[in-house]
Chains A and B, each alone.
Chain A
Amino acid sequence: MKKIFFPTIVAALLLVQSASAWNGQVHSGITAIAEANLTPTAKAEIERYLGGRPLTYYASWMDDISVYPEYEACKEWHEIAFNPKYKILAGKRAAKSDDKRISKAKAFDGLKAAVRALENRKSLSDSEVADNIRFLTYILADLHCPGHYLYTDLTPERQNPKFYRDKSRKAQEFRNFWEGAAITQTHNWRANEFVHQLNRKGAEEIEALTSGTMAEWVTANARNYRFVYTSLLNDGNRFSNTKYRLWLNKIYPFAEEQAAIAGYRIAKVLNGLFDGGAEKVAVTGKSKPAKK
């Protein structure tokens, strides 16, 4: 009995922490922000497909079901890769890469498929529509996690540097850091608290952040996020606790901003799909110039 206890807790923590991408805590935060920005029509329509449950209930659903063979494809819908000219690497091209992570970086393909399915949802069953709502929500959240952007001109080590804290001999992975600690080591917010803290932008700012196509969003993100690999740390860095805190202080406001933007954009896409009166967001192609 004694022996079980410790592993239970370790595993409980690990189970929660090992989920790829933003961890569950951040995913529910982002999704709650999205939910708060749905139009009443879109919210009602979405909840009808989700069996009366709110969208936030399913924030980490894609993680939960990737263990089933029929959902295996979504294991590769977490990351996105870019060539040096900041063009999105299409799934088929990515698959040919020698870099293991890049070869599985097909999040944008997953997003495209989900949007297409929802645009043509008349031909789908209700449960298929529900699946695609949850895919879209999850993937678009992940596409605002800087640790999920890969660049073909950077080495795998450069894109997941290991670092050490204080005197610890255990290496920490940069990728894991981005999945949650980047935010939660400073602000231990729960879902509704993310909304209270981050859902504060005015209509104009939201409009500016959510204009354009999804391809434009992620391409801009790719340019924006690259600094996380190039300027802050090297493989094998050792941080004193003070240095770590100083570094974290530069990161967390940036990470929180990405979480908020993700929430607004998810809402915009879902509103466009489920509320006839709302503006639609295109996946690719040319967007209308942003309103001044």
Chain B
Amino acid sequence: MKRIIFAISALAMAFGFSLEGFAWGRDAHAAVAYIAECNLTPRAKANIEKCIDGHSIVYYSSWLDYHRKEHKAWDRRRHTCDFDTDGNPIGRPLKHMHEMLDNLSNYENLTDSARKFNIYALVHVMGDYHCPGHLEYRTPDGKTKLLNSFYNVRYLKEKKPRNYHQVWDTMVITANHSDWGYMDFAHALNNIPQSEKDAITAGNVEDWLRDTERASKIIFEKVPKPKEDAEFDELPLVDKQTLNDFGDLACEQVLKAGLRLAKVLNDIFDK
């Protein structure tokens, strides 16, 4: 039994995740970008696509993951999302987000490549910052890590520990929707009334990040961090029910990220 599971996960690695472990999988990032695209005004969409060689923003939704080695300066943007213990966003990630938004608000004066890279990065990072597995609590000065998802858990009935971060990276979003492409995600999620969309996109970036923290901290409550020297049996369990709940949470976060991405892009490019 163990061998089978091991083999299956090895296979999964070989076929699906052979490259690098990413925050959200590329399907989720594509879903975020596509939901955003569906909520762009025609003018904003046309303006953005003019900046990125006529491609869709979906095309670049995982660019930051794939091209980080060629563009090391941008690699730093792929990041955990840092909070203090009161749930306020802090530190570099927030700074980077503002940097990108500031750059783009002035996009007509940027060089072609700076304009592109800022768009690629924003499209990706808005997704990352909504991924519950990316939450990290730090001391208010941002220097000391207090809690993140890098700890071992038991996953379903597997007999070997798994990194909780990996569960979020690779299992949660695809567990229940393995057959979906990005258009399927948008179809299933984007149909809420405009009033609900407006509620989701109200406020500013800090509010959205606070909302991510509020919605996502449950992942540390349901599956708490074990003590350092915990035996396998003492590790917290991610069972099927938890996985289902997290799957729903992940879909909600994908929707929110997409709508909020559309909001900032409309604000910048619909003029």
Genuine A/B complex: yes
* Contact of A9 with B66 in the complex, beta carbons under 8 Å: no
Task: Judge if B7 is at the interface, Cβ distance under 8 Å.
Answer: yes
Question: In the assembly, what is the distance between CA of A190 and CA of B187, in Å?
Answer: 15
With A188-B26, A188-B27 in contact, is A246–B70 under 8 Å at CB? yes
**Residues on the B chain within 8 Å of A203, using CB:** none
Question: In the assembly, what is the distance between CA of A248 and CA of B66, in Å?
Answer: 9
Closest residue of chain A to B181, judged by CB? A190
Of B4, B7, B11, B56, the contact of A197 (CB 8 Å cutoff):
B56
With A5-B4, A9-B8, A193-B182 in contact, is A186–B66 under 8 Å at CB? yes
**Residues on the B chain within 8 Å of A241, using CB:** 19-20
CB of B91 to closest CB in A, whole Å: 27
**Residues on the A chain within 8 Å of B181, using CB:** 188-190, 192-193
**Residues on the A chain within 8 Å of B66, using CB:** 186, 245, 248-249
Task: Judge if A231 is at the interface, Cβ distance under 8 Å.
Answer: no
* Contact of A13 with B1 in the complex, beta carbons under 8 Å: no
Of B11, B26, B55, the contact of A9 (CB 8 Å cutoff):
B11
CB of A248 to closest CB in B, whole Å: 8
Of A6, A185, A196, A197, the contact of B19 (CB 8 Å cutoff):
A185
**Residues on the A chain within 8 Å of B182, using CB:** 193
Question: In the assembly, what is the distance between CA of A113 and CA of B180, in Å?
Answer: 38
Query: For residues 56 through 90 of chain B, which have their beta carbon under 8 Å from a beta carbon of chain A?
Result: 56, 58-59, 62, 66-67, 69-70
Task: Judge if A120 is at the interface, Cβ distance under 8 Å.
Answer: no
**Residues on the B chain within 8 Å of A10, using CB:** 11
Question: In the assembly, what is the distance between CA of A163 and CA of B30, in Å?
Answer: 30
Task: Judge if A224 is at the interface, Cβ distance under 8 Å.
Answer: no
* Contact of B18 with A185 in the complex, beta carbons under 8 Å: yes
Question: In the assembly, what is the distance between CA of A245 and CA of B22, in Å?
Answer: 14
Counting contact residues on chain A (CB < 8 A from B), the size range is 20 to 34
Interface-central residue, B8, B27, B59, B67, by most chain A CB under 10 Å: B59
* Contact of B58 with A6 in the complex, beta carbons under 8 Å: no
Question: In the assembly, what is the distance between CA of A166 and CA of B249, in Å?
Answer: 35
Task: Judge if A200 is at the interface, Cβ distance under 8 Å.
Answer: yes
Closest residue of chain B to A6, judged by CB? B4
Task: Judge if B54 is at the interface, Cβ distance under 8 Å.
Answer: yes
Question: In the assembly, what is the distance between CA of A241 and CA of B169, in Å?
Answer: 18
Interface residues of B (CB under 8 A from A): 1, 4, 7-8, 11, 15, 18-20, 26-27, 30, 54-56, 58-59, 62, 66-67, 69-70, 181-183
Residue contacts A-B, CB under 8 angstroms, 29 given = A2-B1, A2-B4, A6-B4, A6-B7, A6-B8, A13-B15, A165-B18, A186-B62, A186-B66, A187-B26, A188-B27, A188-B181, A189-B181, A192-B181, A193-B183, A196-B58, A197-B56, A197-B58, A197-B59, A200-B55, A241-B19, A244-B19, A245-B19, A245-B66, A245-B69, A246-B69, A246-B70, A248-B66, A249-B66
